[in-house]
Amino acid sequence: MSFGDPNNPYGRQQPQAPYGAPQQPAQYGYPQPQPQPQQAYGAPQQPAQYVPPQQAVQGHSYPLQPNTPVGPGAYASWGSRFGAFLIDFLVAGLVPLIAVITAVVLEKTLYSGCFMEHACYVAREKERVPVIIALLAVAVLWGVAANIFILAKEGQGASPGKKAMKIRLIREDTGRPLGFGLALLRRICHGLDSAACSIGYLWPAWDAKGQTFADKVMRTVVVSTE
């Protein structure tokens, strides 16, 4: 066997490519990936797709995308919601409660100590009956005005109790406050929460979104602002 024999395929030498010429790919093994064509220098760049900015809801420490449900982990806890309820109850109900209790005490003791004396009865009625009526009127007026005030603030996102507990009531689909009308309708829907031993008020303790039955009907959520 001669390596210089031109008829010997093993001894035949491959011709050398000129210097600087591109190398030919090997004819064996796996196919090599083809390089992607490069954009010519100076060619116009493709415009980037516009991504709309996230809209931040007032009072939140995190942005909410429009038409996007609130993400998990931002929902208010049941304890904070219960604390907000207690504060709102004190704002709306403490004064009427004191007024009604005082009126009842005055009425129960209206004739005490008179010992069947008609003049004593008349004097007590003239003295205490106007006070009882005034106390009941204060209770009614305060209760109505305070509940309207709370609903108005809740329609803007946070009642006095929610503001104190750093939580906020918003719509689930838009992340926006409800407004007075929807806040009033949500208050009416709380009748569902009062059914079956008020289980609806306890439902946020284990619900994934921390919603009561009224929240599910109205598609609202309560979120933390911190």
Decide which of 141 and 24 is more confident.
141
- What mean pLDDT value characterizes the chain? 78
**What stretch of H or E contains 167?**
strand 167-171
The token pair that represents 181 in the structure block: 């009308």
The pLDDT, as a whole number, for residue 16 is 58
Q: CA end-to-end span of the chain, whole Å?
A: 88
| Cα distance between residue 56 and residue 68, in whole Å | 12
The pLDDT, as a whole number, for residue 149 is 96
φ, ψ of residue 170 in degrees (nearest 5): -140, 165
The pLDDT, as a whole number, for residue 211 is 93
pLDDT band at 38 (very low <50, low <70, confident <90, very high): low
Decide which of 120 and 49 is more confident.
120
pLDDT single digits (tens) 47-70: 444 444 444 444 444 334 334 344
Over residues 120-139, mean pLDDT: 88
Taking the complete model, does pTM exceed 0.85, yes or no?
A: no
Decide which of 58 and 113 is more confident.
113
From 171, 152, 181, 208, select the one nearest 57 (Cα to Cα). Answer: 171
pLDDT single digits (tens) 190-203: 999 988 788 999 99
The pLDDT, as a whole number, for residue 117 is 75
The percentage of the chain sitting over the pLDDT mark of 70, rounded to a whole number, equals 68
| Cα distance between residue 119 and residue 117, in whole Å | 6
Calculate ∠ Cα 167-83-178, nearest 5°.
40
The phi-psi region of residue 48 (left if phi > 0; otherwise alpha if psi is between -120 and 50; otherwise beta) is: beta
